[in-house]
Amino acid sequence: MPRGPRLRHKKKITPHSLGHSHATHLIEAGVDLLEVQKILGHHSILTTAHYTHLTDTTNHQADQLINALMNGFAIDWQNLK
């Protein structure tokens, strides 16, 4: 019976890496960092903050939020003192 190609993982899957992925997906979905802290059972918010590494999704979301914030400002460069 012919066999298909064997799957090989480039990274080792561990409980820690699964937790890291879960936390990253929660943060990218907009879940508050304090809620993620509770879900993961961390005592310190600093431990949870390690999971907030910048991904393409969070980078894009940050750009959108910053641009939306900055678009709300009108600067009159002529009248600055």
Is 36 contained in some domain? yes
Measure the CA–CA gap between 58 and 41, rounded to whole angstroms. 23
Question: What would the pLDDT profile of 29-63 be if each residue is shown by its tens digit?
Answer: 889 989 999 998 999 998 888 777 767 777 777 78
Number of domains in the chain: 1
Q: Is residue 66 part of a domain?
A: yes
- In this structure, what token pair is assigned to residue 23? 């936390």
Whether 41 is in a domain gets the answer: yes
29: domain range? 15-72
Residue 37 within any structural domain of the chain: yes
Q: Is there a domain that residue 19 lies in?
A: yes
The answer as to whether 6 is a domain residue is no
Examine residue 5 and state whether it is found in any structural domain, yes or no. no
> Is 10 within the bounds of a domain?
no
Tokens 């939306």: give the residue: 68
pLDDT at 1 over 60: no
Q: What is the mean pLDDT of residues 13-33?
A: 86
The mean pLDDT of the chain is: 80
At 60, is the secondary structure helix, strand, or coil? helix
Residues above pLDDT 90, as percent of the chain: 12
- Residue 22: is it exposed, middle or buried by C-beta count within 10 angstroms (0-12/13-18/19+)? middle
Which of the pair, 16 or 2, is modelled with greater confidence?
Answer: 16
Structure confidence at residue 37 (pLDDT)? 92
pTM for this model (two decimals): 0.54
